[in-house]
Amino acid sequence: MHIILLLSTAAALKWVRHAVPLSGTLVLTDVHAALDGGRIVALTTGEEGVLLKLDVPANTSPAGSAWQVLRNPGVDWYGAYVFNATSFLLSGFIDGGGVAYGVVSYSDDGGGRWGNDTKIDPCSQPVCAWGGGPIEFASVLEGYMPSTSGQSAWRTQAGGRNASAWREVVPSPGNWHAGNYVYDGAGYIAIAGSSDCASTDFAETWACSAPVDASGMDTGIACGGSLCITGGGEISPSVAGWVHVSVDGGRTYAPQRALQAPYPVRTLQVVPSSGAGAPVLVAAGGNYFSSAGGVFSSGDGGKTWAEDIDLGQEVKACRSLPLPAQGVTRIFCVSAGAKGGSIISADVPL
């Protein structure tokens, strides 16, 4: 029997909805932001070629953050990385019209022009290893991203600007991995899925173990200091989700579920906070087909949780950006909705 913990009645974080300059069904898939020259520069990707850009002074109110349509070339974009105000990387795939392959695209002028979309995977294997997100870089050359299939990943040691710069790696043959992951920039990577795996040499070798949850699957992992969380969920026979907490840096997790959510948890964040006195834990997700989804957070190490916002949409990705001059870390999340996707953000005191 799993324990269902009572939720706090007071929301831990206050989320702001950003204006989205597109209407109709929107499947927003990833978001990444960087701070450059006192400006927040961010990209949001989506299916059917959706690509949105934010470029505003760091002291701009989230409510006044205006996103612009940057590019709409017909690729299903699933990953974005902002190196600085002018250098961006996208990953995704084309699947239709008798062709199927992965795509990487790079811009050096803030998204005005892009390099030729290059085939990262021609889908010649039983499972397509197309590029996905989230993308992480330890330097301008060393990077890592999962595949959309979840059964492999990609590593670059050459900046990732073209297909030849990426090499496929397989953490655990026959197993899939999902959600965000830990990447410390010094070689350590931790991923979660139908097996939970870790590497200390930038994905060259892996050590894997059984998932934390008794269901046999985890979906994502996030850590901050000694506190880590992993999520999971299902959409059949019921729609449900959960979170497990570790207090020893992810070496061991409490077997009981710290949070029992009404939809799958798909993306996680652990954000240091002077205001809360402990890291703020964020668990977001949903189910597109049942119009369910939102964001939960905890400010006491996962003992109690609040559903901060009910979007009625599947939250696909959340990423954090420290803003030292403003004294906060801003969390961006994006979602998929039949009546329009959403971009939301919340600030956590540094």
pLDDT by 10s per residue, the chain, length 350: 333 444 443 447 999 999 999 999 999 999 999 999 999 999 999 999 999 999 999 999 988 789 999 987 789 999 999 999 999 999 999 998 888 999 999 999 999 999 877 889 999 878 899 999 999 999 999 999 999 999 999 999 999 998 889 999 999 999 999 999 999 999 999 999 999 999 999 999 999 999 999 999 999 999 999 999 999 999 999 999 999 999 999 999 999 999 999 999 999 999 999 887 889 999 999 999 999 999 999 999 999 999 999 999 999 999 999 999 999 999 999 999 999 999 999 999 99
Collapsing DSSP states into helix, strand and coil, what is residue 224?
A: strand
**Paired strand residues for 130:** none
- How far is 106 from 87, CA to CA, in rounded Å? 7
CATH architecture of 16-349: 7 Propeller (2.130)
Span between the terminal Cα atoms of the chain, in Å: 38
* Phi and psi torsions of 80, nearest 5°: -140, 145
pTM: 0.95
Selection from 281, 271, 216, 279 nearest residue 243 by Cα: 281
DSSP per-residue letters across 40-107: EEEEEEEGGG-EEEEEEETTS-GGG--EEE----S-EEEEEEE-SSS-EEEEEEEEETTEEEEEEEEE
Phi, psi (rounded to 5 degrees) for 235: -120, 0
Contact between 285 and 241 (Cβ < 8 Å): yes
Q: Tokens standing for 119? A: 């085939």
CA 151 – CA 126 distance, rounded (Å):
11
Other beta carbons less than 10 A from residue 58's beta carbon: 17
The candidate with the shortest Cα–Cα distance to 46, out of 346, 345, 314, 326, is: 314
| pLDDT recorded at residue 14 | 95
Contact present, 338 and 286 (Cβ < 8 Å): no
Cα–Cα–Cα angle for 103, 78, 305, nearest 5°? 160
Query: What's the confidence (pLDDT) of residue 214?
Result: 95
Predicted local distance difference test score (pLDDT) of residue 206: 98
In the structure, how many helices (H) and strands (E) does the chain have? Answer: 0, 28
pLDDT value for 326: 96
Domain ranges in the chain are 16-349
Write the DSSP symbol of residue 226: T
pLDDT at 347: 96
Q: What pLDDT does residue 9 have?
A: 38
pLDDT given at position 71: 80
**Would you say 187 and 179 are in contact if contact means Cβ atoms under 8 Å apart?**
no
Residues in Cβ contact with 99 at an 8 Å cutoff, skipping those fewer than 6 apart: none
**Measured between alpha carbons, how far is 54 from 345 in angstroms, rounded to an integer?**
13
Please report the pLDDT score of residue 2 as a whole number.
38
Contacts of 286 (CB under 8 A, 6+ apart): 263, 264, 266, 292, 293, 294, 311, 313, 314, 315, 335
